Amino acid sequence: MDIQVGDILTMKKTHPCGGKQWEVLRTGADFKLRCTTCGREVMGARAKFEKNIKQVQR
């Protein structure tokens, strides 16, 4: 997938705060994402996040 910094990702599963949209802060072998609802930042493997992406907004 072509995902760039600043993109908004809509995930299949919701975050515990209720939000489904995440902003991409860093890309590479892993992603750093920020929840647009609560501001929580998470970092994880690219493969794990790519499986859960429903939609990408530029």
Helix (H) or strand (E) holding 23: strand 21-26
Q: In what order do the strands lie in the sheet with 41-45?
A: 41-45, 30-35, 21-26, 8-11, 53-57
Please write the tens of the pLDDT for every residue from 6-36: 999 999 999 999 999 999 999 999 999 999 9
Higher pLDDT pick, 36 / 1: 36
Mean pLDDT score, 33-42: 97
Answer for the pair 21, 5: CB distance below 8 angstroms, yes or no: no
For 23, counting Cβ atoms within 10 Å of its Cβ (0-12 exposed, 13-18 middle, 19+ buried), the class is middle
